[in-house]
Structure formats: structure tokens, C-alpha cells
């Protein structure tokens, strides 16, 4: 069930059941890892190709996501029941409370206020129109159910596309996309809001950048920012790599594309209804700390002890200062590293900093991290540990909200003490993922992606370029050394020298190439000419 093809024929791909110690144990009951004589990427997989298997996994996960909300689908969305049944969804709640069923459409109906960015409001409005066309005259409960189901079907398509884009970005590690296809946090939180649309646009922008199309990447990131704010943060990772390589044109092109796309979406509605357009910004600025953020925990404990609480203005300033400090730390880390970090690693660190420093956190924000984790730190031990804690936090949120917002029975509610521990566990688990990435940036030999000589599959125009500036070597001095052998500098035509295959030194053993244990017999391999840098699995 493995395949990998480049423009010049098939190439070897990494097999997680061989290379990952956790998965190697899990597959023992179904025959164990692939044998030493298997030839992944060179043997025809027949029907079960990597994309088809990933699609099947994603479809099964999508069915589970809807099944998790089935108590509300059958019994209706009402407070506090949807908290205690753990089937809350913004889709049904917004449809009922924002007048979608009566024809009120965010950013289209004059005077309608909506606490989300423009493109997300248009998505919400578009699905509401489709529901009205399909169920005109039906009962409000039936329309609300249809609204949820329609969004769930669209989400399944978005999820599949996100998995396939992640697979393309993974290059010689296509099975890492299974992290996205089977993610428990997406199964449980994907149907809360429209966040996965922003995840798709952010990940697709990374694929465009990896294929040396920075303008298209910027356009996709700009559209993603019009759904949720976080995709614009990926420009920060591009900027750091631009500083280190001295090549600023890709960053400028991506920035121009992002700004242009964002303006095209937002400017008409800003000119038409400035108050309605600005409501999202004013709402975010004036609201108190949101549930599950570190700021909420601080204020909640302060109220319990009688200490002063932080007002929204102080929280906004503190969150901004902390985030800027974290971004500066990421930049220093990247510029001091012996070897230039990968784009996915920097993007993950910046988004984690935003998630942890922000005054608002919702369970669906974990979706933002899933593709970045799959690309930056594709280690199942790390993934399972992080997602297990996120699932526990997800359950704690609903039991706490049932008492705080709906006045549910005390015996059904989670107290502040346990809830605080759940939030702290979520923060520590997310910080643990960031710590693993930092360690691998400082010690590139530990990076699962780079252990076979690959430079940066997502780096696009920065892939295999020499460094122009680092804080280790000083301004104006090239430095390409590192803990691992540095890949050859990319030639003008975009190809690596003969003897390198997809960024992999031909002297590497075939066992290491396929992710097999080093104890297996090694076989010599031929070093074919290198496919273009943008050629991805």
C-alpha cells in the first residue's frame, strides 16, 4: 500500500511501521512491519494507493465526527443538554440565535452583527441559503438539523482535501498525513465551527509555497485569514527564512498576495457597512478572557481568592507582549541554529505561541496545529500524547460550561479545580510539542524528516539555499554547516547535483531510506538524476 512517483520515475518513501517505534508495536497484531524485501514506492500498490487509503481513513473519521454529535442530532440542540451530551456545535447555535432561518445573513443583511471574519460569515450565509432552498417552509428544528448536516458534509470534503494537501507536502513521508486523517481532535472538534476551512487554506498555501509559487501561497493565506486569523502567521516563518537566506522576494510576493486577497474579500463590506465589518474587531478587543485560556484561569483563581482580576485592556496588552516576545524568541532560535529550520517547524512554533498567548481559546483551535504537527514533528509518540490531553480537555470544557453558562444540575458539573488542571494540562501538552520541535531544531540529527538528508520539503524557494545571515556566524558571512551534512546548494535550474536523489545522499543506505531498522542488511542503490525540488509525493 505504498507508492511514490516523481517526474523521473518512482522513488522510495518512508514507512511508519518500520521507522516509528510506537507504530511498530501497534502493527505486530496485524502481521508486523513490512518485510525487509519490500520495496515501498517501487512496487505497484494496485488499488490501495496511499491517497486512496488516506481518503478511506478520513471518510471513516468524518462518520465518527457526525456520530459524536448524534445525541444532539436526535434530541435537538438545547442548553445545557448539548454540554452534558458533549455535542455542542456553533453551527446549530448560530443558526438558531442569529436569525439564519428568518433570512438574516451576516455581512449581507444590513445591520446584522457577526463576531467572525468576513469570509467565515459568507460561508455561514451561503449554507443558510442552501438550507432555505432545500427546506423552505420546514420546521425550525428540521432546518437547524439540515444546516448542521450540510456543514458536516462540506467539512468532510474540506478534511479530505486537507489530508491530500498534507500528503503532498510530506514528500517522501506521505503516510504522515494519516495523522491528519485520523486525528481525534478533528473528530471531536471539527464540527464545532468552520476552523477546518482556514486549516485547508493555510495548508494549501504551504503547498503553493513549496512549489515555488509565493504569490499563490499568499493569496491562499490571505483568504484563510478572512476565515480565521491564524493563517497570516505563516508569513512570519517565511520572513525568518528570508532573513537567513537573504532572499526577500518570496516573502514580499507572499505578503503582497495575502494583502491583496484579504482586501478583495474585506474591502467591499468595509465600504458598505463599516460598523458591521468592524464588529468582529471590537468584539474581540472588548471581550473578557475566553474559557480555557491561561488568562481565564488567572482571573478565575483571582476571583476565588479575592485578588484583583485583569480587565480586558490589560489582558490584550499582556497577550500582545507575550506573543511578540515568543515570536522574537523563535526568530533568534532560527537565526542561531546550526542548520536552517524547516518552514513547518517555524510555522508550528509561531502558531503555538499565538494559541497559548491569546486571551481566547476554544477546543477547535487544536485543529490549526494538526497539519503543522504532522509536517514538523511526525512522531506518533508525540502526537498521541498531545491529542490524548486535548481530548481530556475537550471533555472537561463541556462539563464546566454546563454549570457556568447554563445553570445545569451541580452533580453534572465539573468544579473549577479540576477544570483548571485540565486547562493547565492542555497548555503543558501543547508546550511539550513546541519543546520537541525546539530540540530538533537545535539538534537536526533528531529530526525524523531530515535524517535521510532532506533539507526542507516545504521550503520552496528557500530549499537548499546557502545561508546569508545567522547570529552564529555574523552578518554578511555564509554558513551552511550543521549537525547533519548540509544538502548541496540548489543550482540555477532547481536541481541538486548528480548523486543526490530528492535531496537524499545516494550514499545513504536503502534501509535508512525506507525507514527500516539499521540492523537490517543494507543493499546498494543506484543514484538516479534528481527530480525538481518542487516535485512532491
pLDDT in tens, 326-381: 999 999 999 999 999 999 999 999 999 999 999 999 999 999 999 999 999 999 99
Predicted confidence band at 413 (pLDDT cuts at 50, 70, 90)?
A: confident
Residue of 299 and 32 predicted with greater confidence: 299
What the block records as the C-alpha cell of 308 is 484583583
pTM above 0.75, yes or no: yes
State how far the Cα of 525 lies from the Cα of 537, in Å rounded to an integer: 20
Cis peptide before 66 (omega within 30 of 0): no
pLDDT of residue 80: 86
Contact 42, 10 (CB under 8 A): yes
How would you label 394-432 residue by residue, b for 16+ Cβ within 10 Å and e otherwise? bebbbbbbbbbeeebeeeebbebeebbebbebbbebbee
Looking at every residue in the chain, the average pLDDT score rounds to: 83
What is the rounded end-to-end Cα distance, in angstroms, of the chain?
14
Of the chain, the percentage scoring pLDDT greater than 90 comes to 57
Predicted confidence band at 38 (pLDDT cuts at 50, 70, 90)?
A: low
State how far the Cα of 251 lies from the Cα of 215, in Å rounded to an integer: 9
pLDDT of residue 501: 35
Predicted confidence band at 480 (pLDDT cuts at 50, 70, 90)?
A: very low
pLDDT of residue 439: 96
- DSSP assignment string, 178-224: HHHHT-HHHHHHTTTSSHHHHHHHHHHHHHHHHTT-HHHHHHHHHHH
Length of the chain: 537
pLDDT at position 484 over 70: no
State how far the Cα of 216 lies from the Cα of 244, in Å rounded to an integer: 22
Span 487-509, pLDDT tens digits: 555 544 444 433 333 333 333 33
Angle between helices 312-336 and 416-442 (to 10 degrees): 20
Predicted confidence band at 248 (pLDDT cuts at 50, 70, 90)?
A: very high
Span 176-207, pLDDT tens digits: 999 999 999 999 999 999 999 999 999 999 99
- Look at 151-160, 185-194, 279-288, 522-531 and tell me which has the smallest mean pLDDT: 522-531
pLDDT at position 8 over 80: no
pLDDT at position 257 over 50: yes
pLDDT at position 220 over 70: yes
Residue found by looking up cell 545567522 in the block: 470
pLDDT of residue 18: 65
Amino acid at each position: 500500500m505504498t507508492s511514490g512517483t516523481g517526474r523521473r520515475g518512482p522513488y522510495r518513501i518512508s514507512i511508519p511501521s518500520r521507522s516509528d517505534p510506537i507504530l511498530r508495536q501497534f502493527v505486530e497484531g496485524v502481521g508486523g512491519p513490512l518485510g525487509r524485501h519490500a520495496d515501498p514506492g517501487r512496487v505497484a500498490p494496485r488499488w490501495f494507493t496511499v491517497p486512496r487509503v488516506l481518503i478511506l481513513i478520513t471518510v471513516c473519521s468524518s462518520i465518527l465526527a457526525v456520530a459524536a454529535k448524534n445525541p444532539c442530532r436526535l434530541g435537538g440542540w438545547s442548553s445545557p443538554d448539548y454540554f452534558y451530551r458533549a455535542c455542542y456545535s456553533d453551527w446549530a447555535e448560530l443558526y438558531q440565535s442569529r436569525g439564519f432561518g428568518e433570512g438574516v445573513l451576516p455581512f449581507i443583511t444590513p445591520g446584522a452583527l457577526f463576531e467572525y471574519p468576513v469570509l467565515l460569515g459568507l460561508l455561514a450565509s451561503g449554507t443558510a441559503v442552501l438550507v432555505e432552498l432545500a427546506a423552505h417552509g420546514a420546521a425550525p428544528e428540521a432546518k437547524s438539523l439540515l444546516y448542521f448536516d450540510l456543514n458536516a458534509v462540506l467539512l468532510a470534503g474540506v478534511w479530505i482535501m486537507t489530508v491530500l494537501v498534507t500528503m503532498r507536502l510530506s514528500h517522501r513521508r506521505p503516510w504522515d498525513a494519516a495523522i491528519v486523517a485520523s486525528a481525534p481532535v478533528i473528530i471531536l472538534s471539527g464540527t464545532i465551527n468552520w476552523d477546518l476551512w482556514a486549516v485547508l487554506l493555510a495548508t494549501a498555501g504551504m503547498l503553493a509555497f513549496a512549489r515555488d509559487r509565493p504569490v499563490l501561497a499568499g493569496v491562499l493565506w490571505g483568504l484563510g485569514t478572512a476565515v480565521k486569523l491564524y493563517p497570516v502567521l505563516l508569513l512570519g516563518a517565511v520572513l525568518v527564512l528570508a532573513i537567513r537566506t537573504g532572499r526577500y522576494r518570496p516573502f514580499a510576493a507572499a505578503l503582497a498576495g495575502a494583502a491583496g486577497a484579504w482586501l478583495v474579500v474585506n474591502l467591499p463590506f468595509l465600504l458598505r457597512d463599516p460598523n458591521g465589518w468592524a464588529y468582529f474587531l471590537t468584539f474581540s478587543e472588548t471581550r473578557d478572557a475566553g474559557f480555557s485560556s491561561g488568562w481565564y484561569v488567572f482571573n478565575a483563581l483571582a476571583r476565588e481568592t479575592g485578588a484583583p482580576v485583569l480587565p480586558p485592556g490589560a489582558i490584550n496588552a499582556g497577550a500582545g507582549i507575550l506573543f511578540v516576545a515568543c515570536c522574537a524568541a523563535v526568530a533568534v532560535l532560527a537565526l542561531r541554529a546550526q542548520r536552517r529550520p524547516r518552514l513547518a517547524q517555524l510555522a508550528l512554533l509561531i502558531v503555538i505561541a499565538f494559541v497559548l498567548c491569546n486571551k481566547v481559546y476554544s477546543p477547535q483551535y487544536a485543529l490549526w496545529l494538526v497539519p503543522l504537527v504532522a509536517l514538523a514533528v511526525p512522531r506518533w509518540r508525540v502526537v498521541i500524547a498531545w491529542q490524548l490531553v486535548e481530548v481530556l480537555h475537550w471533555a472537561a470544557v463541556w462539563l464546566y460550561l454546563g454549570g457556568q453558562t447554563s445553570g445545569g444540575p451541580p452533580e453534572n458539573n465539573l468544579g473549577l479545580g479540576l477544570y483548571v488542571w485540565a486547562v493547565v494540562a492542555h497548555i503543558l501538552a501543547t508546550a511539550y510539542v513546541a519543546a520537541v520541535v525546539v530540540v530538533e531544531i537545535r539538534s537536526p540529527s533528531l529530526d525524523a524528516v531530515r535524517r535521510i538528508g532532506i533539507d526542507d520539503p516545504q521550503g520552496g524557494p528557500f530549499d537548499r539555499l546557502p545561508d546569508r545571515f545567522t547570529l552564529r556566524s555574523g552578518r554578511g558571512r555564509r554558513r551552511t554547516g550543521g549537525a547533519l551534512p548540509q544538502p548541496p546548494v540548489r543550482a540555477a535550474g532547481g536541481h541538486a547535483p548528480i548523486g543526490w536523489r530528492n535531496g537524499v545522499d545516494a550514499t545513504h543506505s536503502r534501509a535508512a531510506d525506507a525507514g527500516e531498522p539499521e540492523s537490517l542488511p543494507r543493499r546498494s542503490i543506484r543514484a538516479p538524476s534528481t527530480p525538481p525540488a518542487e516535485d512532491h509525493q
